[in-house]
Structure 1
Protein backbone atom coordinates (compact mmCIF):
# COMPACT_ATOMS: atom_id res chain seq x y z
CA UNK A 1 0.00 0.00 0.00
CA UNK A 2 2.88 2.36 0.71
CA UNK A 3 4.11 1.89 -2.85
CA UNK A 4 0.67 2.75 -4.16
CA UNK A 5 0.40 5.97 -2.20
CA UNK A 6 3.94 7.12 -2.95
CA UNK A 7 3.34 6.82 -6.71
CA UNK A 8 0.16 8.94 -6.75
CA UNK A 9 0.32 12.24 -8.57
CA UNK A 10 -0.44 15.43 -6.69
CA UNK A 11 -2.03 18.73 -7.70
CA UNK A 12 -1.20 22.40 -7.13
CA UNK A 13 -2.85 24.00 -4.10
CA UNK A 14 -5.21 26.92 -4.65
CA UNK A 15 -7.50 28.68 -2.13
CA UNK A 16 -10.37 26.37 -1.03
CA UNK A 17 -9.52 23.70 -3.62
CA UNK A 18 -6.67 22.16 -5.51
CA UNK A 19 -6.86 22.52 -9.27
CA UNK A 20 -4.60 21.76 -12.19
CA UNK A 21 -5.13 22.24 -15.90
CA UNK A 22 -3.91 19.26 -17.90
CA UNK A 23 -3.27 18.59 -21.56
CA UNK A 24 -6.53 16.61 -21.62
CA UNK A 25 -9.88 18.45 -21.83
CA UNK A 26 -10.55 18.45 -18.09
CA UNK A 27 -9.80 20.34 -14.92
CA UNK A 28 -8.89 18.26 -11.90
CA UNK A 29 -9.59 19.57 -8.41
CA UNK A 30 -9.69 18.55 -4.79
CA UNK A 31 -13.13 19.38 -3.35
CA UNK A 32 -14.51 18.87 0.15
CA UNK A 33 -17.60 16.67 0.34
CA UNK A 34 -19.71 14.96 3.02
CA UNK A 35 -17.99 14.41 6.36
CA UNK A 36 -15.24 16.83 5.31
CA UNK A 37 -13.82 14.15 3.01
CA UNK A 38 -11.58 15.55 0.29
CA UNK A 39 -12.40 14.13 -3.13
CA UNK A 40 -10.24 14.10 -6.22
CA UNK A 41 -12.50 15.27 -9.08
CA UNK A 42 -12.39 15.87 -12.82
CA UNK A 43 -14.63 18.24 -14.78
CA UNK A 44 -14.86 18.03 -18.57
CA UNK A 45 -16.33 21.19 -20.10
CA UNK A 46 -17.34 21.26 -23.80
CA UNK A 47 -16.18 24.16 -25.94
CA UNK A 48 -19.81 24.70 -26.98
CA UNK A 49 -22.77 25.17 -24.62
CA UNK A 50 -23.32 21.77 -23.00
CA UNK A 51 -26.52 19.89 -23.79
CA UNK A 52 -26.32 18.12 -20.41
CA UNK A 53 -23.99 17.29 -17.55
CA UNK A 54 -23.16 13.69 -16.69
CA UNK A 55 -22.24 12.79 -13.10
CA UNK A 56 -20.09 9.66 -13.22
CA UNK A 57 -19.32 6.97 -10.59
CA UNK A 58 -16.51 4.50 -11.35
CA UNK A 59 -16.29 0.83 -10.35
CA UNK A 60 -14.61 -0.99 -7.50
CA UNK A 61 -10.80 -1.16 -7.43
CA UNK A 62 -10.40 1.67 -9.94
CA UNK A 63 -10.65 5.45 -10.34
CA UNK A 64 -12.11 8.08 -12.66
CA UNK A 65 -8.86 8.47 -14.57
CA UNK A 66 -9.48 5.13 -16.27
CA UNK A 67 -12.30 6.79 -18.25
CA UNK A 68 -10.35 9.74 -19.67
CA UNK A 69 -10.94 8.83 -23.31
CA UNK A 70 -14.62 8.04 -22.74
CA UNK A 71 -15.34 11.25 -20.83
CA UNK A 72 -13.23 13.37 -23.14
CA UNK A 73 -15.10 12.07 -26.19
CA UNK A 74 -18.47 12.83 -24.62
CA UNK A 75 -17.33 16.37 -23.95
CA UNK A 76 -15.44 17.09 -27.16
CA UNK A 77 -17.60 15.23 -29.68
CA UNK A 78 -21.07 15.46 -28.13
CA UNK A 79 -21.09 18.65 -26.01
CA UNK A 80 -21.86 16.68 -22.84
CA UNK A 81 -20.14 18.00 -19.71
CA UNK A 82 -18.85 15.38 -17.28
CA UNK A 83 -18.21 15.57 -13.54
CA UNK A 84 -16.33 12.52 -12.23
CA UNK A 85 -14.71 11.79 -8.90
CA UNK A 86 -12.58 9.16 -7.22
CA UNK A 87 -14.97 7.59 -4.79
CA UNK A 88 -14.38 7.53 -1.07
CA UNK A 89 -11.99 4.66 -0.37
CA UNK A 90 -10.59 4.51 -3.92
CA UNK A 91 -8.18 6.23 -6.29
CA UNK A 92 -6.51 9.45 -5.26
CA UNK A 93 -9.26 10.17 -2.73
CA UNK A 94 -7.89 7.24 -0.72
CA UNK A 95 -4.24 7.07 -1.77
CA UNK A 96 -2.87 10.57 -2.42
CA UNK A 97 -0.93 11.09 0.79
CA UNK A 98 -0.50 14.85 0.28
CA UNK A 99 -4.13 15.73 -0.48
CA UNK A 100 -6.40 13.04 0.95
CA UNK A 101 -8.37 13.46 4.16
CA UNK A 102 -6.50 12.40 7.33
CA UNK A 103 -7.69 8.91 8.17
CA UNK A 104 -8.68 8.06 4.60
CA UNK A 105 -7.69 4.57 3.54
CA UNK A 106 -8.26 2.20 0.66
CA UNK A 107 -11.67 0.51 0.80
CA UNK A 108 -12.91 2.61 3.72
CA UNK A 109 -16.46 3.32 2.60
CA UNK A 110 -20.04 2.09 3.02
CA UNK A 111 -23.19 2.04 0.89
CA UNK A 112 -24.60 4.93 2.93
CA UNK A 113 -21.41 6.91 2.31
CA UNK A 114 -21.58 6.20 -1.41
CA UNK A 115 -25.17 7.42 -1.74
CA UNK A 116 -24.43 10.57 0.25
CA UNK A 117 -21.30 11.22 -1.80
CA UNK A 118 -23.24 10.80 -5.04
CA UNK A 119 -25.82 13.33 -3.92
CA UNK A 120 -23.02 15.78 -3.17
CA UNK A 121 -21.56 15.14 -6.63
CA UNK A 122 -24.92 15.85 -8.26
CA UNK A 123 -25.23 19.14 -6.41
CA UNK A 124 -21.64 20.08 -7.27
CA UNK A 125 -22.20 19.38 -10.96
CA UNK A 126 -25.45 21.34 -10.95
CA UNK A 127 -23.72 24.35 -9.40
CA UNK A 128 -21.05 24.20 -12.10
CA UNK A 129 -23.49 23.78 -15.00
CA UNK A 130 -26.69 25.72 -14.40
CA UNK A 131 -29.89 25.11 -16.32
CA UNK A 132 -28.82 21.98 -18.21
CA UNK A 133 -30.27 18.48 -17.66
CA UNK A 134 -28.40 16.25 -15.21
CA UNK A 135 -27.73 12.57 -15.92
CA UNK A 136 -26.14 9.89 -13.75
CA UNK A 137 -23.86 7.15 -15.01
CA UNK A 138 -22.00 4.44 -13.20
CA UNK A 139 -20.02 1.40 -14.30
CA UNK A 140 -19.83 -1.88 -12.39
CA UNK A 141 -20.03 -0.96 -8.68
CA UNK A 142 -20.82 2.60 -9.77
CA UNK A 143 -23.69 1.27 -11.88
CA UNK A 144 -25.22 -0.34 -8.81
CA UNK A 145 -24.74 2.89 -6.86
CA UNK A 146 -26.55 5.15 -9.35
CA UNK A 147 -29.39 2.63 -9.68
CA UNK A 148 -29.59 2.24 -5.90
CA UNK A 149 -29.60 6.00 -5.42
CA UNK A 150 -32.67 6.46 -7.61
CA UNK A 151 -34.47 3.44 -6.11
CA UNK A 152 -33.96 4.24 -2.44
CA UNK A 153 -37.03 4.29 -0.22
CA UNK A 154 -36.53 7.66 1.44
CA UNK A 155 -36.66 9.60 -1.81
CA UNK A 156 -37.53 12.03 -3.25
CA UNK A 157 -35.13 14.76 -2.28
CA UNK A 158 -34.62 18.13 -3.92
CA UNK A 159 -31.61 16.69 -5.71
CA UNK A 160 -33.68 13.87 -7.22
CA UNK A 161 -35.79 16.34 -9.17
CA UNK A 162 -32.68 17.36 -11.11
CA UNK A 163 -32.15 13.90 -12.64
CA UNK A 164 -33.31 13.43 -16.23
CA UNK A 165 -31.88 9.97 -16.80
CA UNK A 166 -29.60 7.21 -15.55
CA UNK A 167 -27.09 5.05 -17.43
CA UNK A 168 -25.94 1.77 -15.90
CA UNK A 169 -22.86 0.28 -17.53
CA UNK A 170 -22.29 -3.37 -16.61
CA UNK A 171 -23.97 -2.69 -13.24
CA UNK A 172 -23.19 -4.89 -10.25
CA UNK A 173 -26.56 -6.43 -9.42
CA UNK A 174 -25.05 -9.86 -8.95
CA UNK A 175 -21.55 -11.17 -9.58
CA UNK A 176 -21.16 -13.49 -12.55
CA UNK A 177 -19.43 -16.01 -10.32
CA UNK A 178 -21.29 -15.73 -7.04
CA UNK A 179 -19.23 -16.70 -3.98
CA UNK A 180 -20.43 -19.62 -1.86
CA UNK A 181 -22.85 -18.70 0.93
CA UNK A 182 -20.47 -20.19 3.51
CA UNK A 183 -17.70 -17.84 2.35
CA UNK A 184 -20.04 -14.86 2.51
CA UNK A 185 -21.02 -15.82 6.06
CA UNK A 186 -17.37 -16.02 7.14
CA UNK A 187 -16.58 -12.69 5.49
CA UNK A 188 -19.57 -11.12 7.26
CA UNK A 189 -18.36 -12.30 10.64
CA UNK A 190 -14.87 -10.92 10.02
CA UNK A 191 -16.31 -7.64 8.73
CA UNK A 192 -18.22 -7.16 11.98
CA UNK A 193 -14.85 -6.91 13.76
CA UNK A 194 -12.61 -5.58 10.98
CA UNK A 195 -14.96 -3.87 8.51
CA UNK A 196 -12.23 -2.26 6.43
CA UNK A 197 -9.97 -5.27 6.08
CA UNK A 198 -9.17 -5.47 2.39
CA UNK A 199 -10.34 -8.32 0.22
CA UNK A 200 -7.08 -10.15 -0.59
CA UNK A 201 -7.44 -10.79 -4.35
CA UNK A 202 -7.31 -8.40 -7.31
CA UNK A 203 -9.55 -8.64 -10.35
CA UNK A 204 -8.05 -10.56 -13.25
CA UNK A 205 -7.48 -8.05 -16.03
CA UNK A 206 -8.35 -10.60 -18.71
CA UNK A 207 -11.87 -10.71 -17.23
CA UNK A 208 -12.28 -6.98 -17.82
CA UNK A 209 -11.98 -6.79 -21.58
CA UNK A 210 -10.48 -8.37 -24.70
CA UNK A 211 -8.21 -5.34 -25.05
CA UNK A 212 -4.67 -6.42 -24.15
CA UNK A 213 -3.37 -2.84 -24.05
CA UNK A 214 -5.90 -1.55 -21.50
CA UNK A 215 -5.62 -4.76 -19.50
CA UNK A 216 -1.86 -4.26 -19.22
CA UNK A 217 -2.43 -0.64 -18.17
CA UNK A 218 -4.84 -1.86 -15.48
CA UNK A 219 -2.24 -4.27 -14.10
CA UNK A 220 0.41 -1.52 -14.00
CA UNK A 221 -1.84 1.24 -12.63
CA UNK A 222 -0.63 2.36 -9.16
CA UNK A 223 -4.14 3.56 -8.27
CA UNK A 224 -5.78 0.19 -8.97
CA UNK A 225 -6.02 -2.14 -6.02
CA UNK A 226 -8.24 -4.93 -4.74
CA UNK A 227 -12.03 -4.55 -5.21
CA UNK A 228 -12.41 -3.03 -1.76
CA UNK A 229 -12.86 -3.83 1.91
CA UNK A 230 -14.98 -6.62 3.35
CA UNK A 231 -17.59 -4.03 4.36
CA UNK A 232 -17.74 -2.24 1.00
CA UNK A 233 -17.95 -5.51 -0.93
CA UNK A 234 -20.63 -6.89 1.38
CA UNK A 235 -22.65 -3.70 0.91
CA UNK A 236 -22.24 -3.89 -2.88
CA UNK A 237 -23.46 -7.48 -3.07
CA UNK A 238 -26.26 -7.01 -0.54
CA UNK A 239 -27.65 -3.83 -2.05
CA UNK A 240 -27.51 -5.27 -5.56
CA UNK A 241 -29.66 -8.15 -4.35
CA UNK A 242 -32.09 -5.79 -2.67
CA UNK A 243 -32.47 -3.81 -5.88
CA UNK A 244 -33.50 -6.98 -7.65
CA UNK A 245 -35.85 -8.32 -4.97
CA UNK A 246 -37.76 -5.26 -3.78
CA UNK A 247 -36.12 -1.85 -4.13
CA UNK A 248 -36.74 -1.72 -7.88
CA UNK A 249 -40.35 -0.83 -7.05
CA UNK A 250 -39.24 2.59 -5.75
CA UNK A 251 -37.82 3.67 -9.10
CA UNK A 252 -39.32 7.03 -10.18
CA UNK A 253 -41.24 6.18 -13.33
CA UNK A 254 -40.51 9.51 -15.01
CA UNK A 255 -36.72 9.01 -14.85
CA UNK A 256 -35.41 7.36 -18.02
CA UNK A 257 -32.83 4.59 -17.76
CA UNK A 258 -30.35 2.91 -20.11
CA UNK A 259 -28.62 -0.41 -19.38
CA UNK A 260 -25.45 -1.46 -21.24
CA UNK A 261 -23.95 -4.92 -20.73
CA UNK A 262 -21.71 -7.44 -22.47
CA UNK A 263 -23.04 -10.98 -22.70
CA UNK A 264 -19.60 -12.44 -21.87
CA UNK A 265 -19.08 -10.29 -18.75
CA UNK A 266 -16.98 -12.34 -16.32
CA UNK A 267 -17.39 -9.87 -13.44
CA UNK A 268 -21.02 -8.74 -13.17
CA UNK A 269 -24.01 -10.74 -14.32
CA UNK A 270 -25.72 -9.59 -17.51
CA UNK A 271 -28.59 -11.96 -16.66
CA UNK A 272 -29.22 -10.18 -13.34
CA UNK A 273 -29.03 -6.81 -15.09
CA UNK A 274 -31.68 -7.96 -17.57
CA UNK A 275 -33.88 -9.17 -14.72
CA UNK A 276 -33.66 -5.79 -12.97
CA UNK A 277 -34.27 -3.94 -16.22
CA UNK A 278 -37.44 -5.97 -16.81
CA UNK A 279 -38.73 -5.06 -13.33
CA UNK A 280 -37.98 -1.32 -13.28
CA UNK A 281 -41.21 0.70 -13.63
CA UNK A 282 -39.58 3.46 -15.75
CA UNK A 283 -41.82 4.77 -18.53
CA UNK A 284 -38.79 5.12 -20.81
CA UNK A 285 -36.11 2.47 -20.58
CA UNK A 286 -33.71 0.69 -22.90
CA UNK A 287 -31.23 -2.14 -22.60
CA UNK A 288 -28.43 -2.79 -25.08
CA UNK A 289 -26.39 -5.99 -24.91
CA UNK A 290 -23.14 -6.60 -26.76
CA UNK A 291 -22.63 -10.24 -27.78
CA UNK A 292 -19.26 -11.58 -26.68
CA UNK A 293 -18.24 -8.37 -24.93
CA UNK A 294 -16.75 -8.48 -21.45
CA UNK A 295 -17.00 -6.12 -18.49
CA UNK A 296 -15.42 -2.84 -19.57
CA UNK A 297 -17.41 -1.79 -22.61
CA UNK A 298 -15.47 1.48 -22.87
CA UNK A 299 -12.32 -0.57 -23.51
CA UNK A 300 -13.72 -3.39 -25.64
CA UNK A 301 -12.43 -3.85 -29.23
CA UNK A 302 -14.37 -4.74 -32.40
CA UNK A 303 -16.34 -1.49 -32.35
CA UNK A 304 -17.94 -2.05 -28.95
CA UNK A 305 -16.14 0.91 -27.38
CA UNK A 306 -17.41 3.26 -30.08
CA UNK A 307 -20.90 1.77 -30.10
CA UNK A 308 -21.35 2.01 -26.34
CA UNK A 309 -20.12 5.62 -26.29
CA UNK A 310 -22.56 6.52 -29.06
CA UNK A 311 -25.35 4.76 -27.15
CA UNK A 312 -24.70 6.94 -24.10
CA UNK A 313 -24.58 10.15 -26.14
CA UNK A 314 -27.70 9.23 -28.15
CA UNK A 315 -29.63 8.36 -25.00
CA UNK A 316 -28.79 11.72 -23.39
CA UNK A 317 -29.66 13.67 -26.53
CA UNK A 318 -32.93 11.75 -27.01
CA UNK A 319 -34.03 12.35 -23.43
CA UNK A 320 -33.10 16.03 -23.46
CA UNK A 321 -34.77 16.50 -26.83
CA UNK A 322 -37.90 14.83 -25.58
CA UNK A 323 -38.02 17.04 -22.50
CA UNK A 324 -37.88 20.27 -24.43
Structure 2
Protein backbone atom coordinates (compact mmCIF):
# COMPACT_ATOMS: atom_id res chain seq x y z
CA UNK A 1 0.00 0.00 0.00
CA UNK A 2 2.82 2.37 -0.86
CA UNK A 3 3.27 3.90 -4.30
CA UNK A 4 5.65 6.66 -5.31
CA UNK A 5 3.09 8.31 -7.60
CA UNK A 6 -0.57 7.54 -8.33
CA UNK A 7 0.26 7.74 -12.03
CA UNK A 8 1.93 4.31 -11.71
CA UNK A 9 -1.60 2.82 -11.79
CA UNK A 10 -2.53 4.81 -14.90
CA UNK A 11 0.72 3.79 -16.60
CA UNK A 12 0.01 0.11 -15.91
CA UNK A 13 -3.56 0.47 -17.17
CA UNK A 14 -2.40 2.06 -20.43
CA UNK A 15 0.26 -0.64 -20.85
CA UNK A 16 -2.41 -3.34 -20.51
CA UNK A 17 -4.69 -1.54 -22.98
CA UNK A 18 -1.85 -1.32 -25.52
CA UNK A 19 -1.20 -5.06 -25.18
CA UNK A 20 -4.89 -5.85 -25.72
CA UNK A 21 -5.12 -3.52 -28.73
CA UNK A 22 -2.10 -5.18 -30.27
CA UNK A 23 -3.82 -8.58 -30.01
CA UNK A 24 -7.28 -7.27 -30.95
CA UNK A 25 -6.74 -4.17 -33.12
CA UNK A 26 -10.29 -4.04 -34.51
CA UNK A 27 -12.15 -4.15 -31.18
CA UNK A 28 -13.45 -1.00 -29.46
CA UNK A 29 -12.07 -0.35 -25.97
CA UNK A 30 -14.23 0.42 -22.93
CA UNK A 31 -12.91 1.38 -19.51
CA UNK A 32 -14.57 0.08 -16.35
CA UNK A 33 -13.47 1.09 -12.87
CA UNK A 34 -14.83 0.70 -9.34
CA UNK A 35 -13.93 2.89 -6.36
CA UNK A 36 -10.21 3.78 -6.59
CA UNK A 37 -10.30 1.89 -9.90
CA UNK A 38 -12.81 4.53 -11.00
CA UNK A 39 -10.23 7.21 -10.26
CA UNK A 40 -7.66 5.26 -12.28
CA UNK A 41 -10.13 4.87 -15.17
CA UNK A 42 -10.91 8.60 -15.21
CA UNK A 43 -7.23 9.57 -15.26
CA UNK A 44 -6.56 6.94 -17.95
CA UNK A 45 -9.32 8.43 -20.11
CA UNK A 46 -7.87 11.90 -19.55
CA UNK A 47 -4.47 10.69 -20.80
CA UNK A 48 -6.00 9.61 -24.13
CA UNK A 49 -9.31 11.48 -24.46
CA UNK A 50 -10.20 10.18 -27.95
CA UNK A 51 -9.11 6.55 -27.63
CA UNK A 52 -12.01 4.92 -25.79
CA UNK A 53 -15.54 4.03 -26.90
CA UNK A 54 -16.95 4.59 -23.43
CA UNK A 55 -16.34 4.43 -19.70
CA UNK A 56 -18.33 2.73 -16.93
CA UNK A 57 -17.77 3.83 -13.33
CA UNK A 58 -19.10 2.03 -10.26
CA UNK A 59 -18.96 4.17 -7.09
CA UNK A 60 -15.94 6.11 -8.39
CA UNK A 61 -13.55 8.03 -6.16
CA UNK A 62 -13.96 11.64 -7.32
CA UNK A 63 -14.20 13.56 -4.05
CA UNK A 64 -12.78 12.65 -0.65
CA UNK A 65 -15.18 11.47 2.02
CA UNK A 66 -16.12 14.53 4.13
CA UNK A 67 -15.73 12.47 7.32
CA UNK A 68 -12.17 11.53 6.42
CA UNK A 69 -10.89 14.62 4.61
CA UNK A 70 -11.53 17.34 7.17
CA UNK A 71 -9.09 20.29 6.92
CA UNK A 72 -7.44 19.25 10.19
CA UNK A 73 -6.98 15.64 9.05
CA UNK A 74 -5.57 16.75 5.67
CA UNK A 75 -3.08 19.03 7.40
CA UNK A 76 -2.12 16.24 9.83
CA UNK A 77 -1.62 13.79 6.95
CA UNK A 78 0.71 16.24 5.16
CA UNK A 79 2.79 16.72 8.30
CA UNK A 80 2.90 12.98 9.04
CA UNK A 81 3.93 12.27 5.44
CA UNK A 82 7.13 14.23 6.08
CA UNK A 83 8.09 12.30 9.21
CA UNK A 84 6.16 9.00 9.25
CA UNK A 85 5.06 8.23 5.66
CA UNK A 86 4.57 4.51 6.40
CA UNK A 87 2.39 5.04 9.45
CA UNK A 88 -0.79 3.00 9.13
CA UNK A 89 -4.12 4.75 9.62
CA UNK A 90 -7.44 3.04 10.33
CA UNK A 91 -8.35 -0.08 8.34
CA UNK A 92 -11.41 -0.18 6.08
CA UNK A 93 -14.66 -1.32 7.71
CA UNK A 94 -15.80 -4.32 5.60
CA UNK A 95 -19.39 -3.83 6.72
CA UNK A 96 -19.74 -0.59 4.72
CA UNK A 97 -18.62 -2.28 1.49
CA UNK A 98 -21.89 -4.15 0.87
CA UNK A 99 -25.10 -5.26 2.59
CA UNK A 100 -24.53 -8.79 1.29
CA UNK A 101 -23.19 -10.76 4.30
CA UNK A 102 -21.83 -13.55 2.10
CA UNK A 103 -19.74 -11.01 0.18
CA UNK A 104 -18.56 -9.37 3.43
CA UNK A 105 -17.42 -12.76 4.77
CA UNK A 106 -15.65 -13.47 1.47
CA UNK A 107 -13.93 -10.06 1.62
CA UNK A 108 -12.77 -10.63 5.22
CA UNK A 109 -11.37 -14.09 4.48
CA UNK A 110 -9.76 -13.26 1.11
CA UNK A 111 -5.95 -13.47 1.50
CA UNK A 112 -5.50 -11.23 -1.55
CA UNK A 113 -7.34 -8.34 0.11
CA UNK A 114 -5.14 -5.94 2.08
CA UNK A 115 -6.68 -5.71 5.56
CA UNK A 116 -4.17 -3.38 7.18
CA UNK A 117 -4.47 0.35 7.69
CA UNK A 118 -3.94 2.76 4.83
CA UNK A 119 -0.45 4.30 4.88
CA UNK A 120 -0.12 8.07 5.29
CA UNK A 121 1.93 8.35 2.07
CA UNK A 122 -0.79 6.55 0.14
CA UNK A 123 -3.48 8.86 1.52
CA UNK A 124 -1.44 11.79 0.15
CA UNK A 125 -1.26 10.09 -3.26
CA UNK A 126 -5.05 9.60 -3.20
CA UNK A 127 -5.57 13.28 -2.33
CA UNK A 128 -3.27 14.28 -5.21
CA UNK A 129 -5.20 11.99 -7.58
CA UNK A 130 -8.55 13.45 -6.48
CA UNK A 131 -7.25 16.99 -7.09
CA UNK A 132 -5.98 16.00 -10.56
CA UNK A 133 -9.31 14.35 -11.40
CA UNK A 134 -11.26 17.46 -10.46
CA UNK A 135 -8.96 19.59 -12.61
CA UNK A 136 -9.27 17.20 -15.57
CA UNK A 137 -12.97 16.23 -15.70
CA UNK A 138 -13.89 18.91 -18.22
CA UNK A 139 -11.52 17.25 -20.76
CA UNK A 140 -13.72 14.17 -20.99
CA UNK A 141 -16.03 13.89 -24.00
CA UNK A 142 -16.49 10.11 -24.24
CA UNK A 143 -19.79 8.34 -23.36
CA UNK A 144 -19.99 7.72 -19.60
CA UNK A 145 -22.20 5.52 -17.43
CA UNK A 146 -21.96 6.03 -13.65
CA UNK A 147 -23.63 3.81 -11.04
CA UNK A 148 -23.57 4.80 -7.37
CA UNK A 149 -25.32 3.95 -4.10
CA UNK A 150 -26.60 7.05 -2.32
CA UNK A 151 -25.53 5.95 1.23
CA UNK A 152 -21.98 5.01 0.07
CA UNK A 153 -19.62 5.77 2.99
CA UNK A 154 -16.37 5.02 1.14
CA UNK A 155 -16.74 7.13 -2.04
CA UNK A 156 -19.14 10.02 -1.58
CA UNK A 157 -21.90 10.15 -4.20
CA UNK A 158 -21.29 13.91 -4.43
CA UNK A 159 -18.31 12.96 -6.57
CA UNK A 160 -20.56 11.33 -9.15
CA UNK A 161 -22.84 14.38 -9.20
CA UNK A 162 -19.77 16.61 -9.65
CA UNK A 163 -18.59 14.39 -12.51
CA UNK A 164 -21.98 14.62 -14.24
CA UNK A 165 -21.95 18.42 -13.91
CA UNK A 166 -18.33 18.88 -15.05
CA UNK A 167 -17.53 16.47 -17.88
CA UNK A 168 -17.96 17.76 -21.43
CA UNK A 169 -19.54 14.48 -22.59
CA UNK A 170 -22.93 14.84 -24.28
CA UNK A 171 -23.67 11.17 -23.63
CA UNK A 172 -23.59 10.71 -19.85
CA UNK A 173 -25.87 8.74 -17.52
CA UNK A 174 -25.97 8.48 -13.71
CA UNK A 175 -28.01 5.70 -12.08
CA UNK A 176 -28.45 5.99 -8.32
CA UNK A 177 -29.28 3.05 -6.06
CA UNK A 178 -31.03 4.52 -3.03
CA UNK A 179 -30.14 1.94 -0.38
CA UNK A 180 -27.12 0.14 -1.83
CA UNK A 181 -23.63 0.43 -0.35
CA UNK A 182 -20.24 0.83 -2.04
CA UNK A 183 -19.60 -2.35 -4.06
CA UNK A 184 -22.73 -2.42 -6.23
CA UNK A 185 -21.51 -5.46 -8.18
CA UNK A 186 -21.17 -7.35 -4.86
CA UNK A 187 -24.44 -6.12 -3.35
CA UNK A 188 -27.72 -7.89 -2.59
CA UNK A 189 -28.69 -10.06 -5.60
CA UNK A 190 -31.36 -7.70 -7.00
CA UNK A 191 -28.94 -4.76 -7.02
CA UNK A 192 -26.07 -6.79 -8.49
CA UNK A 193 -28.31 -8.17 -11.24
CA UNK A 194 -29.56 -4.67 -12.06
CA UNK A 195 -26.04 -3.22 -12.14
CA UNK A 196 -24.64 -5.93 -14.43
CA UNK A 197 -27.69 -5.67 -16.72
CA UNK A 198 -27.35 -1.86 -16.90
CA UNK A 199 -23.68 -2.15 -17.85
CA UNK A 200 -24.24 -4.86 -20.45
CA UNK A 201 -27.20 -3.03 -22.03
CA UNK A 202 -25.31 0.28 -22.13
CA UNK A 203 -22.19 -1.20 -23.77
CA UNK A 204 -24.28 -3.12 -26.34
CA UNK A 205 -26.12 0.11 -27.21
CA UNK A 206 -22.81 1.90 -27.80
CA UNK A 207 -21.55 -0.95 -29.98
CA UNK A 208 -24.80 -1.03 -31.97
CA UNK A 209 -24.72 2.75 -32.51
CA UNK A 210 -21.08 2.59 -33.63
CA UNK A 211 -21.88 -0.24 -36.03
CA UNK A 212 -24.75 1.76 -37.56
CA UNK A 213 -22.57 4.85 -37.91
CA UNK A 214 -19.88 2.73 -39.61
CA UNK A 215 -22.34 1.52 -42.26
CA UNK A 216 -23.82 4.97 -42.95
TM-score by length of 1: 0.60
Please state if 1:121 is matched with 2:16.
yes
**1:214-233 alignment, distance < 5 Å:** 214-225=103-114, 226=116, 228-233=118-123
More strand by share: 1
CA offsets per residue over residues 107-128 of structure 1, 9 Å max, x none? 3352121121111121122223
Matched, 1:300 2:187: yes
1:36-115 correspondence to structure 2 within 5 Å: 106-115=1-10
Gaps of 5+ in 2: 212-216
1:288-316 deviation line (CA, Å, top 9, x unaligned): 11110000001111511011111111111
2:60 and 2:159 in contact (8 A); partners too: no
* Aligned equivalents of 1:135, 1:272: Cα separation in 2: 21
Tell me how far 1:274 sits from its aligned partner. 1.0
Q: CA deviation at 1:161?
A: 4.2
SS in 1 for 2:77: helix
RMSD: 1.9
1:222 is paired with a residue whose SS is coil
2:56 is aligned with 1:167: yes
Map 1:175-324 to 2 at 5 A. 175-176=64-65, 177-195=67-85, 197=86, 199-225=88-114, 226=116, 228-244=118-134, 246-251=135-140, 253=141, 255-324=142-211
Q: What is the count of residue pairs matched by the alignment? A: 209
8 Å contact from structure 1 (residues 209, 294) kept in 2? yes
C-alpha displacement of 1:256: 0.8
Rounded Cα–Cα distance in structure 1 between residues aligned with 2:105 and 2:21? 36
The structure-2 alpha-carbon separation of the partners of 1:220 and 1:198, relative to structure 1 and needing over 3 Å to count, comes to farther
Structure 2: distance between partners of 1:237 and 1:311: 30
- Could you say if the C-alpha distance between residues 191 and 164 of structure 1 is closer, same or farther in structure 2, counting changes exceeding 3 Å? same
Structure 1 residues 227, 120: CA separation in 2 closer, same or farther (over 3 Å shift)? farther
Match of 1:149 in 2: 44
- Residues 250-277 of structure 1: CA deviation (Å, up to 9, x unaligned): 22x2x11111100111111112211221
Residue aligning to 2:214: none
For normalisation by structure 2, the TM-score amounts to 0.88
Q: Tell me, what secondary structure is at the counterpart of 1:166?
A: strand
- SS for the counterpart of 1:185 is helix
Q: Which has the higher contact order (CA 8 A, sep 6+)?
A: 2
1:131 aligns with 2:26: yes
Q: Secondary structure at the match of 1:303?
A: helix
Q: Distance in 1 between matches of 2:5 and 2:56?
A: 22
State the SS of the aligned residue for 1:162.
coil
Is the contact between residue 208 and residue 294 of structure 1 (CA under 8 Å) also seen in structure 2? yes
